[in-house]
Amino acid sequence: MNYHVLTLFPDMIRQACETSILGRAVKNGTIAVETVNIRDFSANKHNRVDDYPYGGGAGMVMEAEPVYRAVSSVSEKLEKKPRVIYLTPQGRVLNQTMVEEFALEDELVLLCGHYEGIDERVLEEVVTDYVSIGDYVLTGGELGAMVLIDSISRFVPGVLSNEESSQFESLQDNLLEYPHYTRPEIWRDRQVPEVLLSGDHKKIEAWRKEQSILRTKERRPDLLEKSVRVRSLFYGTDLSASLAADLTEALSRYGEVMDFNRKKLRKTRWSFERRELLLFVLDTLDEDFFNVSMKGHQTPVFLITGEGVDPADAERFKEQLTSRRFRMLDTFPMEVLQDKEALKRTAIEMRKQL
Ligand code: 6GU
């Protein structure tokens, strides 16, 4: 990942990127951070880049031309037009899905404003994304740019070691992390929860999930409201089985995969809740499957179909789901899951649609 940070305070960015995990990533070349000093593009012999606001009022406004030239100096070097992110309290508030989407880019331009802001006309001309890091006011966009660089870089291959891995993240599920413990087993009369010493990995996983939910309920009820239980259901060949497994893992730490080639599952009467997300991964669609008893409660559904599925049948299946009170969100051909990159993009697209 190559970051290009346009700022009046390049030292602030450079300093922060020298340290810790980001510093290591810059050193080993998995990320690069270029700073561009907007002042170097001043159209004025005194290197001034700000001026008084039209209409009066307090503070100064950054001029359009230096910002335009600074952005151009970066995009001229690149093969395709990069996303240009303007850091502002007026932007969309950053979340983990946005972070993962930005991480799919190869180049990102981060534009930091100062003073009262930047002339609106150059923003209209160059900015593709307006991003805020929270509902409070900062003196400039630099800290926002650093937050973006830090959170995005965690998803760039090679930035984190195995131990630091970003593969299973509770925030993806709109859940907080479960509590962590290390030695000693008893610290000032406080015992580590017994289950963690049991060696029973199934039980430990169940306990952690429960703790995540309890903790989110207590500390971030607003997040819990957005969380869904991910369940994938496949029918057909081994391909549908492995794609269902991969997609489920990309969407949720706690996802479940169900094999509807098993007659027992097809004979079950299924009822799904509003807070579940159902993924159908089908490379066969026959009467046996049409006859499965399923009802939803506005349950969101994505349908992924392989070559073996007749589009007319897929259409009929969608209508059936809608009439059984599912909420059909989107359909995808199986190709969108073929390689890791495409799969990741699809998972992010799905999360955005939820
Ligand atoms: Cl990204 N920039 C500035 N200047 N202020 C902010 C912000 C960003 N996010 C919240 N407040």
What backbone torsions phi and psi does residue 161 show, to the nearest 5 degrees?
-80, 175
Q: Which amino acid is at 16?
A: A
Q: How confident is the model at residue 166 (pLDDT cuts 50, 70, 90)?
A: confident
Gap between the Cα atoms of 26 and 17, Å rounded: 8
Q: How confident is the model at residue 226 (pLDDT cuts 50, 70, 90)?
A: very high
Gap between the Cα atoms of 164 and 24, Å rounded: 13
Q: Among 85, 93, 133, which is best to mutate for testing ligand 1, by the most ligand atoms less than 8 A from CB?
A: 133
Gap between the Cα atoms of 156 and 168, Å rounded: 14
Q: Among 9, 84, 86, 88, which is best to mutate for testing ligand 1, by the most ligand atoms less than 8 A from CB?
A: 88
Nearest atom within ligand 1 for CA of residue 137: 11
54 lines ligand 1 (CB under 6 A): no
22 lines ligand 1 (CB under 6 A): no
Residue in this structure with the two tokens 């599952």, named with its chain if needed: 265
Tokens of 247: 């997609």
| SS3 (DSSP) at 142 | helix
**Torsion on CA atoms 141, 144, 150, 153, rounded to nearest 10:** -80
Rounded mean pLDDT, 33-39:
98
Alpha carbon distances (Å) from 196 to 180, 207, 248, 321, 346: 10, 9, 26, 42, 35
Cα–chain center distance at 253: 14
What are the tens digits of pLDDT across the range 174-207? Answer: 999 999 999 999 999 999 999 999 999 999 999 9
**Given a cut of 80, is residue 350 above it in pLDDT?**
yes
Q: Which of 95, 103, 349, 94 is nearest to 247 (CA)?
A: 349
Gap between the Cα atoms of 169 and 180, Å rounded: 14
**The total number of residues written for the chain in this structure:** 354
Cα(216) to centroid of ligand 1, in Å?
26
140 lines ligand 1 (CB under 6 A): yes
DSSP letter at 141 equals: S
Evaluated on CA atoms 213, 218, 220, 222, the torsion sign reads positive
87 lines ligand 1 (CB under 6 A): yes
Rounded mean pLDDT, 210-214:
97
What are the tens digits of pLDDT across the range 239-250? Answer: 999 999 999 999
Share of residues in the chain with pLDDT > 90 (%)? 95
pLDDT for the residue numbered 312: 96
What are the tens digits of pLDDT across the range 331-343? Answer: 999 999 989 999 9
Cα(139) to centroid of ligand 1, in Å?
8
Cα(190) to centroid of ligand 1, in Å?
41
Residue-wise DSSP of 259-274 = ETTSHHHHHSEEE--T
**Given a cut of 80, is residue 301 above it in pLDDT?**
yes
Beta strands in 94-166 (DSSP E): 107-112, 129-132
Cα(8) to centroid of ligand 1, in Å?
15
